[in-house]
Amino acid sequence: MNSLERFHASVNYQNKDRIMYWGFPIRESTRHRWHKEGLPESIDCGGDVHDYFGFDRWDHISVHIHSRCWPEFEPVIIEETDTYKIWIDEMGTTRKDFKEIENPGFVTRSYLRFPVENRQDFLKMQPHFNPDEKGRFSQSWPVVKSRYPQRDYPIEWIIPGFFWLIRDWMGFYNTCLAFYDQPDLVREMVEFITDYNCRLIRNVMDDDDVEVDLLVIGEDMAYKNNPMISPQMCRDFLLEGYRRINDTAKQYGTKYIVVDCDGYSDPLIPVWLEAGFDGIYPMEVAAGVDAVKLRKEYGRKLLMFGNVDKRQLAKGPDAIDREVGKKIPLALEGGYIIGVDHAVPPDISFDNYLYYVKTLRRLGGRQKS
């Protein structure tokens, strides 16, 4: 089987030659460590490293930075010293970045002011989210999409969700307050984001060449113990917008739609399923998300990705065997594609990650008929 066939067999609970080998991104600081431990210097932390480990090919539609702000704001440096820089970034946010970075790939920063504080600010932001802006597409886009009908690998596309984008505009604290203090503004922003995403989907997918296998709505609206807004608030403010986006995506040939949400997202799953989502990722174990438990609760209604505890990969072979062994039966059954539950951090050694990959191969072989 090729990667495309294997993906669809996996999510549809069909027989397959083996499980999908799916790799979550590798942190830059992790790559630096691995280069010292045996990873060839020529291998970067993008697709090259996944090829190196023999993962299934998994391509991403290249529309500007998760389909976010474009044109970007002109960066402005307000103050700069030997240790930090205060500046207005490409999203219009005023922030303080510290120059000494202990772990590359993790930016040490503090946010000082966000570009949207009221409706007038929001109106000024709207021109930066024009879905018809040609600059969102690379010059190579016509050639890239012309190759899609002949592909033998799945295509993924990430677009911004409501909480994700409003938080970019207002900041986390102000966003949470706005649901109470400025509910009319939140509803207006949700309607704008809905229209934006639906038009962007049409612009990308209204073409026989482009059929997306997996559409990902980026949200990140949960912390370790609970979501950042209640399920009822999610239903009241976001449900109809989710439905419109999901209906549009399915109309244009999208096969599956999942929510990208870190943290403990379990209380939001019923709302997402009601809105037409098929599943979730990356399912962080440290936040209490458990694929085995969710399979018992939702059966085949919920498609799942990830949920391999990255903390266990740092502990060595015995811990890796236990962690992968718990999840492999689900991956063999279907409706679940096994993978690390977020970007791979630098406390995981190169040898441990190699052992993890070998364990996937050892336990995830041909499914019995």
Q: Tell me the C-alpha distance between 168 and 152, whole Å.
A: 35
Please report the pLDDT score of residue 63 as a whole number.
75
- Token pair for residue 72? 């970007």
pLDDT at 155 over 90: yes
Please report the pLDDT score of residue 45 as a whole number.
58
Q: Which residues have C-beta within 8 Å of that of residue 57, sequence separation ≥ 6?
A: 3, 51, 152, 153
Radius of gyration of the chain (CA): 21
**Mean pLDDT of all residues in 161-171:** 96
**Best mean pLDDT range from 37-46, 68-77, 226-235:** 226-235
Q: Tell me the C-alpha distance between 197 and 214, whole Å.
A: 15
Please report the pLDDT score of residue 135 as a whole number.
84
Please report the pLDDT score of residue 368 as a whole number.
43
**Tokens 């295509």 appear where?**
155
- Token pair for residue 5? 């066939």
Percent of the chain with pLDDT over 70: 96
The single-letter DSSP state of residue 257 is E
Please report the pLDDT score of residue 47 as a whole number.
58
Contact 105, 128 (CB under 8 A): no
46-95 pLDDT per residue, tens? 557 888 999 999 888 877 655 678 889 999 999 999 999 999 999 999 99
**Mean pLDDT of all residues in 354-366:** 91
Phi, psi (degrees; rounded to nearest 5) at 265: -100, 0
**Mean pLDDT of all residues in 151-162:** 94
C-alpha dist (Å) from residue 53 to 154, 156, 231, 252, 360: 18, 20, 39, 34, 11
Q: Which residues have C-beta within 8 Å of that of residue 64, sequence separation ≥ 6?
A: 70, 135, 136, 137
Determine the longest span between alpha carbons in the chain, in angstroms.
65
Mean per-residue pLDDT over the chain, rounded:
92
> What is the CATH T-level fold of the domain 3-70+116-363, as seen in this structure?
TIM Barrel (3.20.20)
- Chain centroid to CA 204: 19
Q: Where are the domains of the chain?
A: 3-70+116-363, 74-114
pLDDT band at 159 (very low <50, low <70, confident <90, very high): very high
pTM for the model stands at 0.93
The single-letter DSSP state of residue 64 is H
pLDDT band at 273 (very low <50, low <70, confident <90, very high): very high
As a three-state string, the secondary structure of 10-58 is HHCCCCCCCCCCCCCCECHHHHHHHHHHCCCCCCCCCHHHHHHCCCCCC
Lowest mean pLDDT among 35-49, 188-202, 209-223: 35-49
Contact 69, 91 (CB under 8 A): yes
Q: Which residues have C-beta within 8 Å of that of residue 245, sequence separation ≥ 6?
A: 194, 197, 198, 201, 217
**Mean pLDDT of all residues in 277-286:** 97
**Mean pLDDT of all residues in 230-254:** 97
Contact 204, 245 (CB under 8 A): no
pLDDT at 125 over 60: yes
**Tokens 């090829």 appear where?**
51
pLDDT band at 295 (very low <50, low <70, confident <90, very high): very high
**Mean pLDDT of all residues in 14-29:** 91
